[in-house]
Structure formats: structure tokens, C-alpha cells
Amino acid sequence: MLRWNLGGGKKDSKKLREASFSYKKGCLLLTEYIPDTNESAGSSLQDMLVKRQAGARRHPLSEEQFAEIMELYVALQKNLALVNYLLGRHAEGVKCATTVLSISGHENDDKALLRRAHCNHCLGDLRAAETDLNTLERLSKDGNVPIDSAVPDLRRQIAKTRQQALEKERKMCAKMFA
């Protein structure tokens, strides 16, 4: 999932920024159809636009249309979480993944959980990352579905990060008391 070849440097970074812009634009357009009672409507600007546009809708949406819009919104938010992770915007990646997980029917979305775990690891929130990984493993066991190969890899990275932090702390203590 997160094994992108980013060796192209500026060119790939530019494409990722363009993708981020397109996904944000798509989310903004879709929020026009999402009621403001839904917590997944996004930031305050998006909330304001949703409220403003709610009265301007020409035709009410059927349940099928609303479900389709929500699925598109979820897909855009998951893609935006991935792009933010790849661009190093980890806090934004966490927000996007959390938005997906707050939408009814997507509370246990495996991609959103994994992307949020990756972003939390990069932010140094190892406990939150492990919580998401535990949820993924529980869902895998409950659903008899094979676990994503990125989960054990991320667990090893978290263990390595913890070990490095412990070694750094030991060195600092040794310097203080030497």
C-alpha cells in the first residue's frame, strides 16, 4: 500500500501536491451534499459551505445517491490521507483517516486504520499507532481475512523506534551521571 517509489524527487512531489489539491477539491464539492449534522463534513470552511449550499439544492437526494456520494467522499479522504503521508503532512493524514473512521459504516475501514497508524508513527504517537494496528489484527481475526503485510512491518518499525528512544534516553542518563 505505502510502497511507492518516490525516487523522482521534485517531479513526484509535484504530482503528489497536485493530487492533494484535486482530492481536497473533490471533497469540498461533495460536502455540498452532505448534511451538516454529519461529523464527517470537514473543516469549518467546509461546514459553512455545506450550510450555505443546503438550501440551494435543486433536487433532494435519494438514499442510493447519498450512499454513492458518501462512498466517493470516503475514497477521496482515504486517498488524501495517503498523499498527505507521502508528502510528510502526517497530522493532516491523521485527520483525513479519522474523518473516514467517523463516518457510519466505515468505523473499521482497514485502509484508513493503516494509513492513520503510519501517520501516527511518523508523528511519534506510537501508542495510537499500536491501537490502530491492534484493531486491524482483531478485524482480520474476526473476519478470517489475511492481515495486510504492512502491519507486521509497521510493528517492527514501532519496536525499532521505541528501542532507539530507549537507547537515547540511556545515553543521556549516562552523560548526566558520568
- Residues sharing a CB contact under 8 Å with residue 155, sequence separation 6 or more, in sequence order: 130, 133
Per-residue pLDDT, averaged over 120-125, amounts to 94
Query: How high is the pLDDT of residue 38?
Result: 45
Domain 12-52+61-176 = CATH 1.10.260.40: no
Single out the residue of 24, 130, 131, 128 nearest to residue 81, CA to CA.
24
φ/ψ bin of 4: left (φ > 0), alpha (ψ from -120 to 50), beta (otherwise): beta
What does the alpha-carbon distance between residue 100 and residue 70 come to, in Å, rounded to a whole number? 10
What does the alpha-carbon distance between residue 42 and residue 166 come to, in Å, rounded to a whole number? 38
Residue-wise DSSP of 38-58? SGGG-SHHHHHHHHHHHTT-S
**Distance set, CA 109 to CA 3, 18, 131, 135, 140 (Å):** 19, 25, 14, 10, 11
Yes or no: say if 118 and 112 are a contact pair by the CB < 8 Å rule.
no
List, for residues 38-92, the tens digit of each pLDDT value: 444 456 676 666 666 665 555 678 889 999 999 999 999 999 999 999 999 999 9
Yes or no: say if 95 and 20 are a contact pair by the CB < 8 Å rule.
no
Is the pLDDT at 142 greater than 80? The verdict is: yes
List, for residues 2-46, the tens digit of each pLDDT value: 445 444 566 688 999 999 999 999 999 988 888 755 444 456 676
Lowest mean pLDDT among 36-40, 102-106, 117-121, 125-129: 36-40
What does the alpha-carbon distance between residue 78 and residue 99 come to, in Å, rounded to a whole number? 9
- Residues sharing a CB contact under 8 Å with residue 126, sequence separation 6 or more, in sequence order: 120, 158, 161, 162
Other beta carbons within 10 angstroms of residue 68's beta carbon come to 13
In angstroms and rounded to an integer, the radius of gyration of the C-alpha atoms of the chain is: 19
Q: Which residue ranges make up each domain of the chain?
A: 12-52+61-176
